[in-house]
A and B are shown apart, each in its own frame.
Chain A
Amino acid sequence: DQQVKQNSPSLSVQEGRISILNCDYTNSMFDYFLWYKKYPAEGPTFLISISSIKDKNEDGRFTVFLNKSAKHLSLHIVPSQPGDSAVYFCAARSNQGGKLIFGQGTELSVKP
Chain B
Amino acid sequence: DSGVTQTPKHLITATGQRVTLRCSPRSGDLSVYWYQQSLDQGLQFLIQYYNGEERAKGNILERFSAQQFPDLHSELNLSSLELGDSALYFCASSVEPGQGTYGYTFGSGTRLTVV
Task: Tell me the A residues contacting B by CB distance below 8 Å.
Answer: 4, 6, 9, 32, 34, 36, 41-46, 49, 51, 89, 91, 93-94, 97-105
B4: A residues at CB distance < 8 A:
43
Indicate the size class of the contact surface on chain B: 20 to 34
Q: How far is the CB of A22 from chain B (nearest CB, A)?
A: 14
Q: How far is the CB of B62 from chain A (nearest CB, A)?
A: 20
Question: Which of A6, A44, A89, A102 is most buried by chain B, counting CB atoms within 10 A of its CB?
Answer: A44
For B25-59 the 0/1 string (1 means CB < 8 A from A) is 00000010101000011111100100000011010
A102-B35 in contact given A43-B4, A51-B101, A89-B42 (Cβ < 8 Å): yes
Work out how many contacts link A and B, with CB atoms closer than 8 A: 73
Known: A97-B55, A102-B44. 7 other contacts (CB 8 A): A43-B2, A44-B43, A46-B103, A46-B104, A89-B42, A97-B56, A100-B45
B65: A residues at CB distance < 8 A:
none
Question: Which of A9, A45, A102 is most buried by chain B, counting CB atoms within 10 A of its CB?
Answer: A102
B58: A residues at CB distance < 8 A:
99
A99-B33 in contact given A45-B2, A104-B42 (Cβ < 8 Å): yes
Residue of B nearest to A90 (CB): B42
**A89 adjacent to B106 (CB under 8 Å):** no
Whole-angstrom CA separation of A91 from B43 in the bound complex: 9
